[in-house]
């Protein structure tokens, strides 16, 4: 049985919380309640509870001070925080101080409350099992930890050295510490390190703290930096004997990501592995995670935030990718001044499709670089212009994400257009071009392809590109982005939309690409628009 103490300065809340807990036929025992932190400390010493359920805001001693004093004392139980909607910063501080979790007062229900208590009970079960294990004595644990961490680095790099065998033996020793141990392997990318504040300046420690909270009775917890902004995590832990409601590896990955964002302002992307019980299985899962590492290149997968390494099979030989790459290659064979427009369209289609097809970035970049050489060897750019394709190739090779790659392609297109000159346009605009403009105005929030616009007005793609540029002075894609940016400015100026909402509404779900286009068009970042309007 686990003893429960309820702490709140409102009697009605203390009674409500007590009534929500099913004391009969459960492993929880009510030992009393207190109206503030000072009274709670006295009761903790007298009744020795295992679980303290406390409000944050209280007179005489609030919940934060109570948690801090409990953590400094001999209290070995867990704390569950009760809060209101506007207590987010206080909740974050409570979790940092050692609270297990929090629940909103207005949404308390018996089912959710009992689930939270059961999760705490499982955590206490693991603590008790762990305290009885003779294997993890401090003297030998430090050496074992460093050997396993070195083994992790070598497994990830694929280059075995003298430390591989020692790490393997150390891990086998850890696995031998319990009859039902399982290992969870994660590969974690820190996506926003450059914008982190002081509280998240040490992502390795942050990730370790989060994992320790999720696996309190672990027999081994290792967080290793593999390269800048990338970390390997390995957790060896027993699965509770009563596994009802025990989270899957995917759910654990989602929790790690959610906690990183909510309480530490750290945006991460996680490749997770299914739990395995043997050494060969752990090594194999780490290799799978490494093989799937390339998916973090694509914003589509970053937005989801988590994916299974075992399901991320490389598809470099995918037939659809080869067809699209070939279309991109032959896009420069058109004439009449439409080549560069079709080239840009084909490049953007290829990049989007590569994310869907899970093409390794190096394969995609090779195809794009082939297109750059195509421009260099064509008549689009005159020899006198001295266009330096090598610099563009270097930028493409160094692109860390597909968003950056698309921006590089757009910048290169703009440079080429400036070099060959843009037509000023004509006062008279033929009916088909007006129809094309109307089509863009209507479908700007969707994925728009030149082939669709051409079919709508009854022109071939090359002829539409040629006539559109001649009569408007810009390409179809440039005009589409112009429509999108004007609509985005209008929406942001209203003050009724978040930037992410606006980006989705105008057909550019990638926030990085949206911000870059917006700033290029208006000279300011999207977040400043409302301030400008208020002046």
Q: Is residue 416 part of a domain?
A: no
pLDDT of residue 139: 41
Average pLDDT over residues 84-92: 81
Residues 160 and 288 both lie in one domain: yes
Closest to 267 measured CA to CA, from 188, 361, 184, 199: 188
Q: Provide the pLDDT confidence category of residue 410 given band limits of 50, 70 and 90.
A: confident
Q: What is the pTM assigned to this prediction? A: 0.54
Cβ-proximal residues to 233 (8 Å cutoff; 6+ apart), any chain: 184, 185, 186, 187, 188, 207, 211, 222, 223, 224
283 is written with which tokens? 């090594």
Residues 531 and 433 both lie in one domain: yes
Q: Is residue 414 part of a domain?
A: no
Structural contact between residues 69 and 41, judged by C-beta atoms closer than 8 angstroms: yes
pLDDT of residue 258: 86
Helix (H) or strand (E) holding 224: strand 220-227
Residue 104 in this model has a pLDDT that exceeds 50: yes
Residues 24 and 64 both lie in one domain: yes
Q: What is the CATH number of the domain that holds 187?
A: 3.30.70.270
Residues 478 and 518 both lie in one domain: yes
Q: Is residue 500 part of a domain?
A: yes
Residues 263 and 326 both lie in one domain: no
User: Which of 263, 279, 311 marks a domain boundary?
Assistant: 311
More confident residue, 49 or 126: 49
Q: pLDDT (tens digit, 9 = 90+) per residue, 447-496? A: 888 889 999 999 888 888 888 888 887 888 888 998 999 899 888 888 88
Closest to 239 measured CA to CA, from 230, 226, 248: 248
Instruction: For residues 45 and 53, give the distance between their C-alpha atoms in angstroms, rounded to a whole number.
Output: 16
Q: Provide the pLDDT confidence category of residue 4 given band limits of 50, 70 and 90.
A: very high
pLDDT of residue 197: 41
pLDDT of residue 531: 53
pLDDT of residue 51: 95
Q: Provide the pLDDT confidence category of residue 427 given band limits of 50, 70 and 90.
A: very low
Q: Which of 151-165, 189-203, 204-218 has the lowest mean pLDDT?
A: 189-203
Length of the chain in terms of residues written = 535
Residues 341 and 450 both lie in one domain: no
Residues 160 and 285 both lie in one domain: yes
Instruction: For residues 510 and 512, give the distance between their C-alpha atoms in angstroms, rounded to a whole number.
Output: 6
Q: pLDDT (tens digit, 9 = 90+) per residue, 295-324? A: 778 877 666 678 888 766 555 557 888 888
Closest to 260 measured CA to CA, from 200, 185, 323: 200
Instruction: For residues 423 and 470, give the distance between their C-alpha atoms in angstroms, rounded to a whole number.
Output: 6
Q: What is the domain range of residue 34?
A: 2-132
Q: pLDDT (tens digit, 9 = 90+) per residue, 238-253? A: 765 544 556 788 888 8
Q: Which strands form 306-308's sheet, in the order they lie side by side?
A: 220-227, 230-238, 181-190, 268-272, 306-308
Instruction: For residues 469 and 185, give the distance between their C-alpha atoms in angstroms, rounded to a whole number.
Output: 53
Residues 274 and 301 both lie in one domain: yes
Instruction: For residues 336 and 463, give the distance between their C-alpha atoms in angstroms, rounded to a whole number.
Output: 8
492 is written with which tokens? 């942001």
Residues 15 and 30 both lie in one domain: yes
Structural contact between residues 357 and 325, judged by C-beta atoms closer than 8 angstroms: no
Share of the chain above pLDDT 90, in %: 14
pLDDT of residue 196: 40
Average pLDDT over residues 44-63: 90
Q: pLDDT (tens digit, 9 = 90+) per residue, 120-153? A: 998 888 777 655 444 434 444 446 778 888 888 8
Instruction: For residues 441 and 457, give the distance between their C-alpha atoms in angstroms, rounded to a whole number.
Output: 14
Q: Is residue 409 part of a domain?
A: no
Q: Is 447 helix (H, G, I), strand (E, B) or coil?
A: coil
DSSP secondary structure of 99-136: --EEEEGGG--HHHHHHHHHHHHHHHHHHHHHHH-STT
Q: pLDDT (tens digit, 9 = 90+) per residue, 322-356? A: 888 888 888 887 666 667 888 888 898 899 888 88
The count of structural domains within the chain is 4
pLDDT of residue 52: 95
């Amino acid at each position: 049985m686990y003893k429960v103490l309820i702490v709140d300065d409102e009697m009605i809340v203390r009674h409500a919380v007590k009534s929500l807990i099913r004391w009969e036929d459960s492993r929880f025992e009510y030992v009393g309640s207190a109206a503030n932190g000072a009274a709670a400390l006295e009761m903790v010493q007298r009744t020795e509870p295992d679980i303290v359920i406390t409000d944050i805001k209280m007179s005489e001693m609030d919940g934060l001070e109570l948690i801090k004093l409990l953590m400094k004392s001999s209290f070995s139980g867990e704390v569950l925080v009760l809060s209101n909607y506007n207590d987010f910063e206080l909740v974050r501080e409570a979790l940092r101080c050692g609270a297990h979790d929090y629940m909103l007062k207005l949404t308390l229900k018996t089912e959710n409350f009992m689930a939270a208590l059961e999760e705490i009970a499982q955590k206490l079960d693991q603590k008790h099992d762990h305290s009885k294990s003779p294997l993890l004595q401090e003297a030998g644990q430090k050496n074992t930890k460093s050997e396993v961490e070195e083994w992790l680095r070598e497994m990830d790099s694929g280059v075995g050295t003298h430390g591989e065998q020692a790490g393997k033996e150390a891990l086998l020793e850890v696995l031998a510490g319990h009859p039902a141990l399982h290992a969870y392997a994660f590969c974690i990318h820190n996506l926003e390190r450059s914008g982190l504040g002081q509280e998240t300046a040490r992502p390795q420690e942050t990730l370790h703290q989060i994992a320790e909270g999720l696996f309190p009775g672990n027999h081994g917890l290792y967080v290793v930096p593999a390269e800048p902004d990338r970390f390997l995590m390995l957790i060896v832990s027993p699965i509770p004997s009563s596994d009802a409601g025990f989270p899957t590896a995917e759910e654990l990955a989602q929790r790690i990501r959610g906690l990183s964002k909510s309480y530490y302002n750290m945006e991460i992307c996680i490749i997770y592995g299914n739990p395995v019980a043997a050494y060969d299985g752990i090594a194999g899962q780490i290799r799978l995670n490494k093989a799937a590492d390339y998916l973090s290149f694509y914003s589509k997968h970053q937005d989801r935030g988590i994916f299974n390494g075992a399901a991320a099979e490389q598809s470099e030989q995918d037939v659809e990718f080869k067809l699209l790459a070939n279309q991109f290659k032959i896009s420069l064979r058109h004439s009449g001044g439409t080549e560069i427009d079709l080239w840009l369209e084909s490049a953007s289609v290829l990049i989007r499709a590569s994310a869907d097809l899970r093409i390794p970035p190096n394969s995609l970049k090779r195809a794009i670089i082939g297109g750059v050489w195509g421009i260099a060897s064509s008549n689009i750019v005159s020899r006198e212009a001295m266009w330096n394709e090598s610099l563009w190739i270097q930028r493409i090779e160094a692109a860390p994400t597909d968003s950056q790659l698309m921006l590089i392609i757009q910048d290169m297109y703009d440079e080429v257009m400036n070099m060959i000159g843009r037509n000023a346009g004509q006062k008279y605009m033929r009916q088909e071009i007006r129809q094309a403009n109307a089509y863009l105005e209507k479908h700007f929030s969707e994925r728009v392809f030149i082939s669709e616009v051409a079919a709508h007005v009854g022109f071939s793609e090359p002829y539409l590109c040629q006539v559109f540029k001649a009569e408007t002075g810009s390409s179809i894609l440039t005009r589409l982005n112009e429509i999108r940016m004007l609509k985005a400015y209008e929406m942001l100026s209203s003050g009724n939309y978040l930037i992410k909402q606006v980006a989705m509404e105008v057909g550019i779900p990638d926030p990085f690409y949206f911000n870059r286009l917006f700033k290029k068009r208006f000279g300011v970042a999207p977040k400043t628009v409302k301030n400008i309007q208020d002046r």
